Amino acid sequence: MIDLRSDTVTRPVQGMLNAMLEAEVGDDVFAEDATVNAFQDKIAALFGMEAGLFVPSGTMSNQLGLAVLTEPGDEILIDEKGHVFNYETGAASFLSGIQISPVAGKSGKLSVDHIRHKVRGNYDWEPVTKVLCLENSTNKGGGVCYTKEELVALKAFADEQGLFVHLDGARIWNAMIATEIEPEFFGRVSDTISVCFSKGLGAPVGSMLLSTKERIAKARRYRKMWGGGMRQVGLLAAAADYAVEHHWSLLNQDHQRAKEFAATVSECAALSIDLESVETNIVIFDCLNEAAPSALEKLAAHDIQMVQFGPATIRATFHFQVGDEQLDKVKSVIKELFN
Ligand X SMILES: *Cc1c(COP(=O)(O)O)cnc(C)c1O
Contact residues for ligand X, defined by CB under 6 A: 57-59, 62, 83, 135, 139, 168, 170, 196, 199, 207
Residue nearest to ligand X (CB): 58
Select 177 or 333, whichever has its Cβ closest to ligand X: 177
The count of residues in the chain is: 339
Non-local CB neighbours of 32 within 8 Å, separated by 6+ positions:
26
Q: Measured between alpha carbons, how far is 79 from 168 in angstroms, rounded to an integer?
A: 12
Select 59 or 280, whichever has its Cβ closest to ligand X: 59
Select 199 or 220, whichever has its Cβ closest to ligand X: 199
Select 207 or 264, whichever has its Cβ closest to ligand X: 207
Q: Measured between alpha carbons, how far is 330 from 134 in angstroms, rounded to an integer?
A: 32
Q: Is the omega angle on the peptide bond into residue 107 within 30 degrees of 0, that is, cis?
A: no
Select 8 or 161, whichever has its Cβ closest to ligand X: 8
Least separation in angstroms between CB 10 and ligand X: 13
Least separation in angstroms between CB 169 and ligand X: 8
Q: Single out the residue of 274, 300, 273 nearest to residue 287, CA to CA.
A: 273
Q: Measured between alpha carbons, how far is 220 from 80 in angstroms, rounded to an integer?
A: 29
Least separation in angstroms between CB 298 and ligand X: 27
Name the helix (H) or strand (E) containing 337.
Answer: helix 324-338
Select 199 or 247, whichever has its Cβ closest to ligand X: 199
Torsional sign, CA 219, 220, 221, 226: positive
DSSP structure string for 233-278: THHHHHHHHHHHHHHGGGHHHHHHHHHHHHHHHHT-TTEE--GGG-
